[in-house]
Amino acid sequence: MQKYSKESVVGIFVLVGLACIGYMTIQLGDLGLFDDDTYPLTARFTQVTGLRSGSVVNMFGLEVGRVEKMTMDQDKQMAVVELRIRKGIKVYDDAIASIKTEGLIGDRYISIDAGGSGAELKPGDTITETEAPADIMDLVSKYAFGDVKK
């Protein structure tokens, strides 16, 4: 009888440990299975090279959301990026969304200039003013082959 109670205690301890590891994995991985405190916005870009689902969305240098997914609008010939912005973050209809690079060869992210003189965007609305990323290889080739004007 004593042997089975020790094994039971160890088994319960292992199960509790695994549950804690699973919970921490979900929380640190920003999977959002337990709560969804974000709202959707979309932005249309002419080019989204280097951007991927899960990329960071920054405003004033602070992380305010993530890229949910990217699709293509065949009619308008643009890439449609769906964003998840934390609730409580206000984005206005005169906001500008830009694709930027962290460092020289870092990951791409979206930077939002929130605006402020227009109406507040509601969940599901679209940021109309966007800026595509600068292509570093184009800039280097222009400099290397003399196409840069002084």
Domain extents for the chain? 1-34, 38-135
Euclidean distance between CA atoms 95 and 115, whole angstroms: 4
Instruction: Tell me: pLDDT of 35 over 60.
Output: no
Which carries the bigger pLDDT value, residue 149 or residue 74? 74
- What pLDDT does residue 106 have? 77
Beta-strand pair 78-86/62-73 = antiparallel
**Confidence class of residue 149 from pLDDT cuts 50, 70 and 90?**
low
Which carries the bigger pLDDT value, residue 101 or residue 142? 101
| Angle made by CA atoms 38, 77, 51, in degrees to the nearest 5 | 45
3-state secondary structure of 29: coil
E strand or H helix that includes residue 65: strand 62-73
**Can you name the CATH fold of 38-135?**
Elongation Factor Tu (Ef-tu); domain 3 (2.40.30)
Euclidean distance between CA atoms 45 and 133, whole angstroms: 9
